[in-house]
Structure 1
Amino acid sequence: MSVSEGTGDARYIEEAVRNAIEGAVWAPSVHNTQPWWFGTAEVDGGVRVTLYADPERRLAVADPEGREMVVSCGAALATLRLGILAAGYVPEVDIVPDSEKPDLLAEVTVRERAEPPPEAVRLFAQARDRRTHRGAFAEKGPPEYLMSSLIEEARLEDADLRVMSDPRKTRALGALSDAAEQFQRLDDRYQAELARWSPGSGSGRRDGVPDTAYPIESQETHPNFPERSFRHGRAQGMDVGAEVPGETGTVCVIETATDDRVAWLAAGQALQRVLLHAAADHYAAALHTQALEVPAFRELISGHLCEGHHPQMVFRLGRSGPIFTSIRRETSAVVFRDPRPAHP
C-alpha cells in the first residue's frame, strides 16, 4: 500500500496500518479458517482499511448463516483498531451493514494522531502471543477482580460477558456442548468439513488447526466441555507431559441483545478484547462453539441460561500450563488494494 506524497505523515500512517493488520491476522477464528481479507485505499490525508468477510472460508455445514464467520471477523477488527490506537492514531470506524454487499463489514480510516492509550498498547502487545487453549486447565479460573474487568471490556463493544457462576448452569452448558459434539460426530458432512480444516503433521498449510495446537490425548474437564477431535484417528498432537488436572476454569458466554450481522461483529470485538485482557494476566481461553451450532441447543441456552439474550460464544478461562502454537497466512495473502481483484 502507499499514501500519496505531500501528506506529511504518510509514511508513518502506512507503517501503523501495516503493523495493525499484521496483528489483526492473529485474531481467533473458528477452526482457524481466518475468514477475512483487508482492502486498503488512499484517502485525503490518510489510509482507509476495509474489512471484508471471505465466504469461501465459511463453514458451510457448521455455520450456514455465517454467524461464526462474522464473529471471527469482529475479533480481527478489534485487533486492527487496537493496533492503530497503539501506534498513536485515531481509528475512525464505520460499520457497514449493507445487504447488497454482505461481505463488506467495516471501514477504518486512519488520519489523525493521538497519544497512544496505555491499555491499547498493553492489549495489542498480546495479539501475536495469545493462543486458543484446547483441553483442561492446570489451574482454576481468574479471580473476581479480573472477571469484573473482563465484563467491562465486553461492554465497551456493546456486548455482554455472562459468567456462569451457578454450578447447575455450568453443568447444563457442558452437557449441551457434549451432546452437540456427539451429534456432530455422527454427521458425515460435518466431519468432512472438520477434516478439511485439520491439516496433518508437516502439512505446510498456513490455516486450519495444526497438530501443535492441541494435546495428543483428549483431556476431560469436570464438568466436561469436550474439545473438537482434530486428530481424525491420527496419532498426532502436542505431548503435554505430566497429566493435567481436569480443571474446567471459569465458564463464560459472550451474548448480545440482538442477533444480526452488526451484533455478531460486536460480539467478535468484545470476545477479542476479553481474550487479550485475560492473556495480559496470563490466562488462556478454550473456545466452544458446538452447542451454538445446533439451533435447538442455542435456543435453549438463550432462554434458560442467558435470560433471552443471544449467545454468540461459549468459552472457558484458566491457566493453561502447556503453550500450544498456531499458524497464520502471510499478511500479503489477505491484504489487497481496494477494490479487491477478481482472483487475488
Structure 2
Amino acid sequence: MKSNLLRPFALRRTVAITAAAVCAAAVHSTTWAAVWTGGGADNEYSTAANWDDNLSPSGADNSTQDINGAFTVERSVDSTSGRTFIKGGATMNIIGGSHDDQRSGANIFNFLGDSSAGMVNQSGGEYRIGHGLRVGVGGAPDGAYNLTGGSLDIYRGSNSKIESDNPGGRPSLEVGDTTGSGLFEISGGSLQTRAGVHIGPTGVFSVVGSTPTGISIGPSGSGDGSWIQHGMLKAAIDAGGVTPIFIDDFDDAGGVVGEFKSGSLLDLSFDGVAPFAGTWTLMEIENTDIVDGGLALSDVTASGWNFSIDNSGANGLLTATYGVPEPASTMILVMAALATGPRRRV
C-alpha cells in the first residue's frame, strides 16, 4: 500500500504543474504570433486550420496574425484578434462581418506592406482597429488599402506622443514613407479615426467621388484629428461632387493641426463624367487654419483646375475649382489651331 505521506507532495506537484500550464496559456494568449498557412478548406480569416497554431483568431485579443506570402485571405465571418500584418504579396478582402483588431498600446500597428507588398480591399462589413494603421510604411514597402464599401474605424491612435514632424501627435493612419509607396483610396463606405492622418513623401490619399458616406479624422475618441501631408492628395469629382475630408476638433479648443508641407501635391480630375464647371470643398478643418507650406497641383492635373485655401471663416477650407474656358478664349484656341494646321496646296 502506498504511503499517504506522498499525497501532499503529489498534490503540490499537480497544483504546480496546473498553475504553470495556466500561466503559460495566459502568456500564449496575450503574446503569440500566428502565421497564415492557408491549410484549411477555405481562405477565411477566422478558420483555425488556416493558421500554423491551428487556433481561431476569435478571442485572441493580443495575438498578431501574420499573413506573409502570395495569399488571398477573406474576412466575412465575425472575428476578433490583436492585430494583423499583411505583406509578402498578400491580399485581404473584407466583404462582410464585424471585425475587431483590438490590441492597443505604444508602437502597436497593423502593417499593410512592410518591406514587401500588401493590399486590403474592403467592400463591406465593419473593420475596427484599436491602434494605428500603417499603409506602405517601413523598409521600401508597397501597401494599398481600397475602401469601396463598409466602414473602417481606427478607434485609437498608437499613443499621444508628440513628434517633431507631427505636432498633432502620433497619427492613427500613416500612408507612405520615404521609399516604396502607400495608397489609401476611398470610393465608398466610411472612414473614421481617433487621431490624425500622416501622408509621407511616397504616400497618396485618394477620394473618389461623392459615394463615400463620411471621411472623419479625429471623432472616434477624446482627441483631436490632424492632417500632416508631404505626399499627394487626390480628389476625383463625379456627378454628385466629392465627399470632403473633415478634421475634427474634439473639445472645440482649436487644437487641431492641418498642414501641407513643402512638396505636397494635389491631383484633381473627374470620375465618370465629362468636365463641368464648379467649386468643391475637399477638406474642412474645424476651428483652426490650414497651414500651406507649399501645396501645388500635380503635373498630371489638367488645365482649367485651381485650388484655394480659405482661412477667413471659423473653419479652414481647401476647395478646388474647375472653370470651363470662356467662348472667346475657346475661339482664340480654335483659330490658333487652324492657323498652325496643314495648308491646302493651290
TM-score tier (shorter) = under 0.3
- TM-score by length of structure 2 reads 0.24
Rg larger in structure: 2
Larger relative contact order (CA 8 Å, sep ≥ 6): 1
